Chain A
């Protein structure tokens, strides 16, 4: 019964459809951002940013309870604040960006958990940490879709300087002053996508749909355009398979999505055509030229 297994859960249950739409939108926006983060060796930065939005969302929760707008706005403000601070510190001092972010990272997590625990229950805390992808309401879906749309538009606009700053930052500096504003805009997109992902996957896993598909894509493509497509594809596939897995096996949906992405990633590390582990074990005769 392929229909019963693969399609029926979404056809029959509204919450499954919503979860699917939400994860698809997230994958679309977050995948390309993850690829850039990875290529800039800032893979862990998404993680740090995801933690940074927690205290802001928690303050929103403290003020207004589980209110989408308050929590998103709080998370956005806190995330942007940390992103800008870390960016400014990295540009103005000798400190590298990862070091300046690391300083904000655990403090933010601790602060956020403290604030949530002060007022909420353990269920609330779980919601903060792991999200609730099966409980996305229309407003949240709209928010996620809007963030994805905006991300793709802004990425298209700043794509050239963004790539240039990754490949040859000195060259970008010598021809244009766009480097700093583009960098800030990109960090803004990272935060926005994490705020969107936060609702579905929580602060700890929001970054999963961003980084795991990107890392997977690296093993399938030699050029960045293909890499973007693969990352989005892996994200979409993980969302779909993860939700099915969660439905049929009764496991938590958010972690299931990231686990599927993780499995795809592991498989790619092994058999990926670009730098996978297995291929060099079966060498073919070298070419003439």
Chain B
């Protein structure tokens, strides 16, 4: 197995309180992994750690030669100013940053941009300001931008929230396409049926990892129950953690 991502005794959290506790394991290059777990299980925290927005409290994440621009990240709550006067075309074109940088031209890449917009089913929306889009359409725009990012590792934090079934199916097809292109995809999801149908590998997380492996073996009723019980409440009086992992 050619590991793309390696977690070594990784602890991530806020103000010394761990949200992901002593995680060990690896994600193979080209893997398609669902991260499942109750709210507060540390899914988003883990993703922030992977993309470098959060520094580990302990342990480390090894990215096997991936640079920042090789990673595409779709946050759970994108911090997007929807009132900003920018249209769908320009918003999608931002995904080309990796190849254009500050001053590189995008004019020669308009076919590529139109292609990405077509792939998410938004042809004809190019000139629409992003403020006029529905929630599902906006999510499609963000996926089109991800397409252009041409990243080797794609991290999706609950990408299908508040999105209708048709949109989920369309966007899921894109995820499968990325998988076919041997990109590594990690997605946090709550719809277990969707995970079973589309994701060969799953990590069940409840602050600490509960189970990790083939989806069918991870998402058992026993494991899911365990995950619900493990994710206890925040303890303001918690003591210092002294687990030693060799």
Contacts and interface: CB of A to CB of B under 8 A. Distances in A.
Interface of A: 39, 157-158, 160-161, 163-164, 166-171, 173-178, 221-224, 227
Contacts of A169: 79
A186 to B, nearest CB: 14
Interface residues of B, number: 27
Given A160-B102, A167-B80, A227 B85 contact: yes
Nearest to A218: B85
B85 A170 contact: no
Contacts of B86: 163, 167, 223-224
Residue with the greatest number of chain B CB neighbours at <10 A, chosen from A157, A158, A171, A176:
A171
B69 interface: yes
A166 B84 CA distance: 8
The 9 A-B pairs at the shortest CB distance, nearest first, are namely: A170-B79, A174-B73, A167-B84, A168-B80, A224-B85, A223-B85, A175-B97, A170-B75, A167-B81
A39 B73 contact: no
B102 A161 contact: yes
B206 to A, nearest CB: 26
Contacts of A163: 86
Given A39-B84, A160-B102, A167-B91, A223 B129 contact: yes
Contacts of A223: 85-87, 129
B78 A170 contact: yes
Nearest to A160: B102
State the main secondary structure of chain A at its contact with B: helix
Contacts of A160: 94, 97, 100, 102
Contact of A168 (B72, B81, B98): B81
A175 B102 contact: no
A227 B84 CA distance: 11
Contacts of A170: 75, 78-80
Given A174-B53, A175-B69, A222 B78 contact: no
Contact of B94 (A164, A173, A178, A224): A164
A39 B78 contact: no
B94 A176 contact: no
A171 B94 contact: yes
A92 B226 CA distance: 39
Nearest to A223: B85
Interface string B85-107: 11100010010011010110000
22 contacts: A39-B81, A160-B100, A167-B80, A167-B81, A167-B84, A167-B94, A167-B130, A170-B75, A170-B78, A170-B79, A171-B80, A171-B94, A171-B145, A174-B72, A174-B73, A175-B68, A176-B69, A222-B129, A223-B85, A223-B86, A223-B129, A224-B84
Given A157-B103, A160-B102, 11 more contacts: A39-B81, A166-B84, A167-B80, A167-B130, A168-B78, A174-B51, A178-B102, A223-B86, A224-B84, A224-B85, A227-B85
A22 to B, nearest CB: 30
Contact of B81 (A161, A166, A174, A227): A166
Contacts of B129: 222-223
B107 to A, nearest CB: 14
A175 B98 contact: yes
Contact of B71 (A167, A174, A224): A174
A153 B181 CA distance: 41
A174 B102 CA distance: 15
Given A173-B53, A175-B68, A221 B85 contact: yes
A164 B98 CA distance: 14
Contacts of A167: 80-81, 84, 86, 91, 94, 130
B150 to A, nearest CB: 12
B168 to A, nearest CB: 22
Nearest to A178: B102
Contact of B97 (A39, A157, A176, A221): A176
A223 B129 CA distance: 8
